[in-house]
Chains A and B, each alone.
Chain A
Amino acid sequence: MDLIPAEFLPALPEMALALAICVLLLVDLYVPDRLRDLSYLVALGGLVLTALAVGESAVDGRVEIFTRSYVSDPLARFLKLVALVMVATVFLYSRSYLRDRGLFKGEYYLLGLFATLGIFVMISAASLLTMYLGLEMLSLSLYGLVAFDRNNATAAEAAMKYFVLGAIASGCLLYGISIIYGVTGSLDFGSVAAALGRGETEDLGVLAGMALIIVGIAFKFGAVPFHMWLPDVYEGAPMSVTLFISTVPKLAAFALTLRVLVEGLGPLADGWEPLLATLAVISLALGNVVAIAQTNIKRMLGYSTIAHVGFILLGFAAGSRDGIEAALFYTVVYVLMAAGAFGVLILSSRAGFECENIDDLKGLNQRSPWFAAMMLLLMVSMIGVPPLAGFYAKWWVLAALIDAEMLGLAIAGMVFSVIGAFYYLRVVKVMYFDDSDGGAELVPGLDLRAVVSLNALLVLVLGLSPEFLIQLCTDALG
C-alpha cells in the first residue's frame, strides 16, 4: 500500500474505521427513509473492512508509532477483533428493535461507529493523552446514544445523569493525568513507568495522581462507589443502546486499566492493587445484593454488571500475568454473555412492548422453549456453573488469586457469587416455573434468531472446550 506510509501501517484499522464513518455520513445524508437499510449495510461493511485492516496491520511484537503515543501489539489486535465482532452483533440485534420503534436512523450506526473508533484509540493508546482522547470520543458518542430516543424523557434523564457524572469522572482522570505528567515529565506509558521506577513513587503527588486515575477507571467500569450512573443508564436507554453500553465499552475499560495501571503505573502496583481489591470486593457485594431487589431486568443486569466488574478487577488485583490473562478472559466472556442476555430481551420485545421487567419473561418456556433454553444457558453461565464459559472465567480469576496467596479475596468472590446466583435463578424460575400470562410466542426474524442462538451456544461451546479462548487470551498478552 503506497497510499499509506509504512510507519502508519499499524494504525490502519483506525483509518479504515474513520473512512467507513465518513462514507456512512455521506450515504446516510442522501438515502431516503425507505432505503435506510443501506446505512445499516454500510455500517456492517465498514466493520468488515476494519476487520480486514486489523489483519492487514499485523506486525511482529510490539510497535509504537506517532512519537510513542500509539501502540500496536497482539493484545490490541485481539481486543479490536473482539470489539468488531461484538459491535456487529449489537447492530444485528438492534435492527428490528429500532425499526419497530421508529428509531431506525443512520445516527445510531454513526454514533456506534464513532464509539467504536474511540474504543480502538483507547485499546491502542500508548500515552496518557491518547488514552484520554479515545475515552472522550467513546463517552461523548455514548451520551448521544443514550439520548438517542429524543422523545423519551427517561432516556433524556439517563443521558443527562450519565453526562454529568461522566464529565466529573473525566475531570478526575484528566487531573490525575496532569499530576502524573507534572511529576514524571512525560505522557507515554513507557517513560512514565521508567520515571516512576527510578524511585519517585514515594511522592505524595504521584499517589494523588494515581488515585484520581483510578477514580476515572472505576467510573468507566462502573465499579462501586462510582457506579451510580450505571443502573439508571441501563434502565433509561433504549434496549439496543443498553446492549451496546453493556458490552463493547467493557473491552475498552479493560484496555484502559491494563495500559494505564499495568503499563504506565506498573511501578506503583503496591499502591493500586489494594485499591482495586477494595473496589472489587465492594462491587461484588453491592452489585450482587442490590440486584436481588430489582424487578426491572435491565436494572438487574446493570447491577449484575457491577458484580462482574468486581471479578474482573479481582483479576487485576492478583497482580500477576496470570491474573491479567484471567481478567481478559473474564471480560471477553462477560461481554459475550451480556450481549446474549440483552439479545434475548430484544427478541422478547416487539412493537409497542418492552420486555424490561423480569415478569415479562413469564412462561417463556411455554411460549418459546428454544429461547428459554438459550436464556437458561446465559443465566447459568453468569452464575458461573460449568460447563458454561462463565465458570472458567471465575475459575481462572480464583486460580490467579490463590496463586498470589490472596485466599481472602478468593473466598469473598465465591461467597458473593453464591448470593448472586439467586437473582439469576429467579429469571430461570420466571421462565420455567411460572405460567405464561398471555404473552405471545416470539416470532423474531431469522437473522435475530440465528444470532441469539449462535451467541448462547457459543457460551456453551466455549464452556465445553475453553482451550481455544484461553489460548487466545494467553497469546494476546504473550
Chain B
Amino acid sequence: MTIGLLSLLIWLPIIGGIAVILLGGRFGSDRWLSLGVAVTTFVLSLPLWAGFETGTADMQFVERMPWIRMFRAEYFLGVDGFSMPLIMLTTFLTPIVVLAGWEIIKVKPAQYFAAFLIMEGLMIGVFAALDALLFYVFWEAMLVPMFIIIGVWGGEQRVYATVKFFLYTFFGSVFMLLALIYLYLQTGSYSILEFHQVPLSLNEQILIFLAFLIAFAVKVPMWPVHTWLPDAHVQAPTGGSVILAAVLLKMGGYGFLRFSLPIAPDASQTLDVLMIALSLIAVVYIGFVALVQQDMKKLIAYSSIAHMGFVTLGFFIAWAILARTGQDAGIAMGLTGGMVQMVSHGFISGALFLCVGVMYDRLHSRDINAYGGVANTMPKFAAFMVLFAMANAGLPGTSGFVGEFLVILASFKANVWYAVLAATTLILGAAYTLWMVKRVIFGAVGNDKVAALEDVNGREFLLLGLLALFVLALGLWPAPLVDVMNATVDNLAAHITQSKL
C-alpha cells in the first residue's frame, strides 16, 4: 500500500512530534529535530502546489479507504482550490513558528516544539478531510495541543485564557457535531461531497446553518463571540499567537466554504442579512475597539477580528448581489476576495505577532507606552514592522490590499452602503495600525530600555524576511493564488445559486 501525499503531510509532523516528546531533548535534539520535521513537511508539500490541476474544481490527491464500516465513515482526503492554499500556508508557517521559539523557550522545549508539530498535522488534516467525521476528529483534536501551548508557555493570565479558549471552541463545535450526525442520517454516509448534494427543506437548512454558524463563528471569530480571541492571543506565547491568527482562524472561514454555503445555500440566502450585518459590525465596531488598545498583541488580535469580518462579508455578499442585480457576476469576486484575504491575513498577522514577539523577548512588555523610537536602535526591525503595518492597513502593493479591494468591489455590486461601511476599514485599519507604529517605532527614544535594544539577529531577520517576501509577492502578483482557486470558486458560485428546495 502506498501512502498518499496528503497522508504523509498529516502524519509526518504528528509522528515527528511524538518522536520529539519521546526523545525529550535527550541528545540536545529537540530543536533541530523539530525544525527538520517542519522543513521536510514543507518541502514535501511543494508537490501539492506544483502538481495541482488549476482547471478543475474536482478534488485532487484523493485518498479513500474504509475507516468505520458500520457507519460508512471513511478515511477520505482530498484538496481543492480552497484547501490547498491553506495547507501550504500551514506548512510554510510551522517552520517559522519553530524558529521563532528557538531561543526563548526554556521550559520543556521538547513538549513545546512537539505540540506545534502535532498541531500542524491536525490542521492539515482539517483542511484535507473530506469525510465529516474525520474532519470533526481533526477539528476537535486541535484543541488539546493549543490548550497546552497557551497554558504552559503563556503569560500571567494564561490559565483563564486557555480555559476560555477551550470551552468557547468546544461549545461551538458540539452543535456542528449534531448537524453532521443529522446530515449523516439523511445521506447514509459521512462524505462531505454527498452532503453538498442532499436536498433539504428550508427549515432543516436553517437549523443546520445555525449549528454550523455557532461552530464557525466562534472560530473565525465573529462578533459577538469573539471575546476569547484577545485573551488567548495576549496570553499565548509568540508561536501560539502566530498559529492561532494565521491558521486557526482560517478554519472558521474554511468551514463556511466547505459546509455552510454548499450544504445550506437557501438558509445562507435567507440569513444573509444577518451574516452581512455581523461582518460589518466586526469591521467597523471592532476597528474602533482596536483603536483604543494599549497592548500591542490585543490590538493585533482585534485587527484580526476586523479583517476576518472582511472574509465573511466576501462570502455572504453573494446573495445581496444576486438579489440586487439578478445575476451571479460578482459572486465569484467576493468569494475570491475572502479567500485571498484569509491567506494574506495569515502572513500579515503572523508577521505582526512575530514582530511583537521580537520586541517582547527584549523588553518583556507588550505595552505600547513602554516603547517609543524603536527605529533608532533597531532600524532593520523597524523597516519590517512598518512594512507589515502598511500591509495590515491594506496598502496597495501588499497582499492586504488585494483581498480587501476585491471584497469592497463585490460589496459595491450589492449595496453602496455595505461598500461604504466596509471601506471604513481603510481608514480605521490605517488609523489603529499606523498610530501604533508611530508610538512604538517612531519618535524620540522612549526610555533607557529602548535605548539599549539590539537589532534583529540573523534568525529573526530570516523569519521576518521570508514573510515580507510573501506579503510583497502576493500583493504585486496575486495571480498564482487566484488561478489556483478560480475553478473551485466558480464551481461553488454555481452550486450555491442553485436552490436545494
A: residues with CB less than 8 A from B are 365-366, 369, 373, 376, 380, 383, 385-387, 391, 395, 398-399, 402-403, 407, 410-411, 414-415, 417-418, 421-422, 425, 428-429, 432-433, 465-467, 470-471, 474
B158 at the interface (CB under 8 A from A): yes
Per the bound structure, the CA–CA distance linking A44 and B285 in Å amounts to: 68
Per the bound structure, the CA–CA distance linking A421 and B172 in Å amounts to: 13
B137 touches A428 (CB 8 A): no
B70 at the interface (CB under 8 A from A): yes
A386 touches B137 (CB 8 A): yes
Given A386-B137, A433-B152, 16 more pairs with CB closer than 8 A: A369-B24, A385-B140, A391-B140, A395-B133, A398-B177, A398-B178, A398-B181, A399-B185, A407-B178, A414-B174, A414-B175, A428-B148, A429-B159, A429-B163, A466-B68, A474-B70
A417 touches B141 (CB 8 A): no
B159-202 contacts to A (CB < 8 Å): 159, 162-163, 166-167, 170-171, 174-175, 177-178, 181-182, 184-185
Report the interface size class on chain B: 35 or more
A414's partner among B68, B148, B178 (CB-CB below 8 A) is B178
* 13 residue pairs bridging A and B, Cβ less than 8 Å apart: A369-B111, A385-B143, A387-B137, A387-B141, A391-B140, A395-B181, A402-B178, A402-B185, A407-B178, A414-B177, A422-B167, A467-B67, A471-B69
B58-81 contacts to A (CB < 8 Å): 67-71
A403 to chain B: which residues have CB within 8 Å? 185
Give the Cβ gap from A151 to chain B, nearest Cβ, in Å. 40
Interface string of B298-328 (1 = CB under 8 A from A): 0000000000000000000000000000000
A415 to chain B: which residues have CB within 8 Å? 174
B181 touches A421 (CB 8 A): no
B144 at the interface (CB under 8 A from A): yes
Give the Cβ gap from B185 to chain A, nearest Cβ, in Å. 6
Known A385-B144, A386-B141, A466-B68: A411·B178 in contact at CB below 8 Å: yes
Nearest A residue (CB) for B68: A467
Per the bound structure, the CA–CA distance linking A415 and B173 in Å amounts to: 11
Give the Cβ gap from B237 to chain A, nearest Cβ, in Å. 13
B68 touches A470 (CB 8 A): yes
B: residues with CB less than 8 A from A are 21, 24, 67-71, 108, 111, 133, 136-137, 140-141, 143-144, 147-148, 151-152, 158-159, 162-163, 166-167, 170-171, 174-175, 177-178, 181-182, 184-185
Per the bound structure, the CA–CA distance linking A395 and B163 in Å amounts to: 23
Known A369-B111, A399-B184: A425·B147 in contact at CB below 8 Å: yes
A402 to chain B: which residues have CB within 8 Å? 178, 181-182, 185
Per the bound structure, the CA–CA distance linking A385 and B170 in Å amounts to: 9
A399 touches B181 (CB 8 A): yes
A365 touches B185 (CB 8 A): no
A433 to chain B: which residues have CB within 8 Å? 151-152, 158-159, 162
A376 to chain B: which residues have CB within 8 Å? 144
B69 touches A467 (CB 8 A): yes
Per the bound structure, the CA–CA distance linking A474 and B71 in Å amounts to: 12
Give the Cβ gap from B151 to chain A, nearest Cβ, in Å. 5
8 nearest interchain CB pairs?
A386-B137, A414-B174, A433-B151, A418-B171, A467-B68, A399-B181, A387-B137, A386-B140
Per the bound structure, the CA–CA distance linking A369 and B152 in Å amounts to: 13
Give the Cβ gap from B64 to chain A, nearest Cβ, in Å. 16
Per the bound structure, the CA–CA distance linking A428 and B146 in Å amounts to: 13
Give the Cβ gap from B236 to chain A, nearest Cβ, in Å. 13
Per the bound structure, the CA–CA distance linking A192 and B143 in Å amounts to: 50
Give the Cβ gap from B23 to chain A, nearest Cβ, in Å. 12
Per the bound structure, the CA–CA distance linking A383 and B174 in Å amounts to: 12
B177 to chain A: which residues have CB within 8 Å? 395, 398, 414
Per the bound structure, the CA–CA distance linking A385 and B174 in Å amounts to: 10
Nearest B residue (CB) for A373: B21
A387 to chain B: which residues have CB within 8 Å? 137, 141
Nearest B residue (CB) for A467: B68
B136 touches A386 (CB 8 A): yes
B133 to chain A: which residues have CB within 8 Å? 395
Nearest A residue (CB) for B133: A395
Nearest A residue (CB) for B22: A370
A369 to chain B: which residues have CB within 8 Å? 21, 24, 108, 111
Known A398-B181, A399-B184, A470-B68: A418·B136 in contact at CB below 8 Å: no
B143 to chain A: which residues have CB within 8 Å? 385
Give the Cβ gap from B70 to chain A, nearest Cβ, in Å. 5
A418 to chain B: which residues have CB within 8 Å? 167, 170-171, 174
B70's partner among A411, A422, A467 (CB-CB below 8 A) is A467
